[in-house]
Amino acid sequence: MRDQYGRDICYLRISVTDRCNLRCVYCMPEEGVAWMPHSQILTYEQITQVVEAAARLGVRHIRLTGGEPLVRPQLYRLVEMVKGVAGIESVSLTTNGVLLAQQLSQLRLAGLDGVNLSLDTLDPQQFAAITRREGLLPQVLEGLEAAADTPGLTVKVNCVPTQFNEDQVVPLARLAQEREISVRFIELMPIGLGRDRHGLSQEQVMERLTDAFGTPVPCANPKGAGPGTYVTFSGFAGRVGFISALSHQFCHQCNRVRLTADGHLKTCLQYQDGVDLKPYLADGVSPTALEGALEQAMYHKPVGHHFSTQTQAGDEKHNMNQIGG
Ligand code: SAM
Ligand code: SF4
């Protein structure tokens, strides 16, 4: 369906949990967080009901995220349920990769189409400093290898470049030199703990890449729709992408909405706007009412974010692990 500004809303990002096995400095506080009570978290059946309603409205692509989606038991069941919904064309996963190697074959059998693996550094000490967990980088790299070796699976590496890991821009981009994957640099957004940190802009990243690899050659987004812009370099098997919400705002072509683990449909990353879908998932409520609530909220999706200006009433107060990124 089209929203009030004519944007085709075809992508739903679903957070399946707020829990995580890492504590990335720009995402979760060190001291921990008050978890959503289990009773508030949508069941796989309820999530599937939302996907069915969304698909009837034209949503075609689903991404599962979190918190860390792979800490939720039997995630492959949800992949299978959602992939089976009429109209859904792709189901992908955004993960920190710690549990990926051990779950990948089950997820793939269930119909998983793509994996975005978040990886900010290839340096074990830096990894421990950013994620506040020791010794897990080898497991993440094992997950990346397993994903890259899976025929037909779309694999992207997502890095948030900040003052912590600026020396990693070139080593991470090299992953796309050797393999047919996309390595993407995502500008840090001023949401939750991201407000307290300083991220690198697309231009700053590009400067480092050009110094190392020469002139970039623009190329197509590997999957068509999406906010990323892509380049490649001479001798690269894959691509380097940029998702630059601050320096290259893409709200006018935003095609997505988000579902939090406790059933709130968020229509823009920056605002609390949206609708609580829980009441529409109760026994005895008709699927038409759920579809109507979704349609109303999607139609009223805000025109865009205002990351570069002062915070306003109604801005998102949660951390990224509670929103899904
Ligand atoms: N745990 C999974 C992971 O790390 O991929 C999924 C959830 S995580 C919130 C999703 C993505 O959001 C990660 O790639 C993370 O780096 C990114 N992220 C978290 N906080 C961010 C911020 N303030 N600005 C930009 N990206 C952010
Ligand atoms: Fe966990 Fe992902 Fe947030 Fe890191 S970015 S703390 S892995 S939810």
Please name the helix (run of DSSP H) or strand (run of DSSP E) that holds residue 114, with its range, or none. strand 114-118
Question: For residue 313, what pLDDT is reported?
Answer: 62
Say if 296 falls within a structural domain.
Answer: yes
Beta partners for 13? 63, 258
pLDDT averaged over every residue in the chain: 93
Q: Per-residue pLDDT tens for 26-74?
A: 999 988 788 999 999 999 999 999 999 999 999 999 999 999 999 999 9
Residue closest by Cα to atom 20 of ligand 1 = 27
- The DSSP string of 243-289 is E-TTTT--GGG--EEEE-TTSEEESSTTB--EEE-GGGGSTT--HHH
- Find out whether the beta carbon of 18 lies less than 6 Å from any atom of ligand 1: no
- End-to-end Cα spacing for the chain: 23
State the distance from the centre of ligand 2 to the C-alpha of 26, rounded, in angstroms.
9
Count structural domains, the chain: 1
Q: Per-residue pLDDT tens for 232-275?
A: 999 999 999 999 888 887 888 899 999 999 999 999 987 777 89
State the distance from the centre of ligand 2 to the C-alpha of 324, rounded, in angstroms.
9
Structure tokens at 147: 């994903």
**Nearest atom, ligand 1, residue 195 CA:** 23
pTM of the model: 0.95
> Which of the residue ranges 151-160, 213-222, 303-312 has the most confident prediction, judged by mean pLDDT?
151-160
- Find out whether the beta carbon of 318 lies less than 6 Å from any atom of ligand 2: no
| Ligand closest in space to the Cα of 198 | 1
CATH number for position 149: 3.20.20.70
Say if 6 falls within a structural domain.
Answer: no
Show the domain range for 88: 11-323
Say if 52 falls within a structural domain.
Answer: yes
Dihedral through CA 36, CA 38, CA 39, CA 44, nearest 10? 110
Say if 66 falls within a structural domain.
Answer: yes
Say if 3 falls within a structural domain.
Answer: no
